[in-house]
Amino acid sequence: MADHYEVLGVDRAATPEEIKKAYRRLARELHPDVNPSDDAAERFKLVTHAYDVLSDPDQRERYDLGPQAGFGGGAGGFGFGDIFETFFGAAQGRTSGPRSRRERGQDALLRIEIDLDEVIFGTKREVDVDTAILCETCAGSCCAPGTSPVTCDICRGTGSIQRSVRSLLGNVMTSSPCGTCRGYGTVIPNPCPTCAGQGRVRAKRTVTVDVPSGVDTGMRLHLPGEGEAGPAGGPNGDLYLEVKVKHHDVFSRNGDDLLATLEVQMTDAILGTTATLAALDGDVAIEIKPGVQSADIVTVKDRGITHLRGGGRGDLKVGIQVVTPVRLNSKEQQLIKQFSESRRPVPPEFATFQQGLFAKLRDRFLGI
């Protein structure tokens, strides 16, 4: 890297006014509007960068002293900071040198709603994600096309500035990130115009998600590498999808079993019947045996939800609710009366206390 004083054509002891005057002269000579050649454009960048450093008193002082500014004891000196780093830095896995611009992107969390019937066999969903993606213009380099980072001339590429500080123990070396390059060891004189030197841009993208069978509300699906793109082309973070299963008006869920209630007319409860009903995954035949009672459970095997881990399915459990007719015409009343008279009269009497229908159904559904 060319010396900044040589680039501006001034002495190292030049005053700020002399540095400004030299910069203005060269800027008028090399500005792209005046001199459109490629060589002039490159020199103009060097001149501008040299002026940015030398016009700032702090940066100029660090540039003049170099990365080992203030190092006491000469080239062979060995301060307390060096001893600490030697004995403790290596033990803690620390390594010296500039830090990388490439970092892992952040994880993202989204919520998706699925229908109960989609839980039975699983489903595919396309999810729109507003996230950070790799910049196509610079491909994550952070630089304008045709350019690259240059070594920081304040820290000479080390990413840190060392200083000697007097203490009770003598001269102690301290190290801090370089303020010019922020610890990267390089600077980007020509940032990518698309991403402003970040190596990534905000955009929407669509992610196809395989939602497995058996998922339930509150579960999270993990999609590695589908989160935000990292700065400077760093690896993507992960995407997490929190599932919510929508309420269904007819069917509910207990583990991998599906629960439903079936209203049965009194005559069908007495004589028995077979009903074909529409379930979540197609028609299902329900056999009602003669003499069925309210709160009885009819189980249809393997018509529930597919297990999340392993094969097989849960069951469909149908709770019976016998409906007593409340409006009968004269002919129906006569038939019921004849039916009642044909049976041995059984006077009403108190029986063992029983819970309400829905409480009994709940307990039987749960196997209590």
Q: Report the 10 Å Cβ neighbour count for 293.
A: 10
Instruction: Decide: 13 and 60 in contact? Cβ < 8 Å.
Output: no
CA-wise closest residue to 142 among 45, 235, 232, 236 = 232
Q: Is 181 annotated as a binding residue?
A: yes
CA-wise closest residue to 323 among 353, 288, 364 = 288
Q: Is 143 annotated as a binding residue?
A: no
Sequence-distant (6+) residues with CB within 8 A of 110 are 127, 129, 239, 240, 241, 242
What is the dihedral sign for C-alpha 256, 261, 264, 270? positive
Rounded to 10 degrees, the C-alpha dihedral 324/326/327/332 comes to: 40
Instruction: Decide: 18 and 55 in contact? Cβ < 8 Å.
Output: no
Give me the residues paired with residue 130 across strands. Answer: 204
Q: What values do phi and psi take at 243, rounded to 5?
A: -90, 140
Q: Is 155 annotated as a binding residue?
A: yes
CA-wise closest residue to 153 among 279, 297, 7 = 7
Specify the pairing of strand 239-245 against strand 108-114: parallel
What is the dihedral sign for C-alpha 145, 148, 153, 155? positive
Instruction: Decide: 145 and 241 in contact? Cβ < 8 Å.
Output: no
Sequence-distant (6+) residues with CB within 8 A of 94 are 85
Q: Which residues are annotated as a binding site?
A: 135, 138, 152, 155, 178, 181, 192, 195
Q: Which residues are annotated as a binding site for Zn(2+)?
A: 135, 138, 152, 155, 178, 181, 192, 195
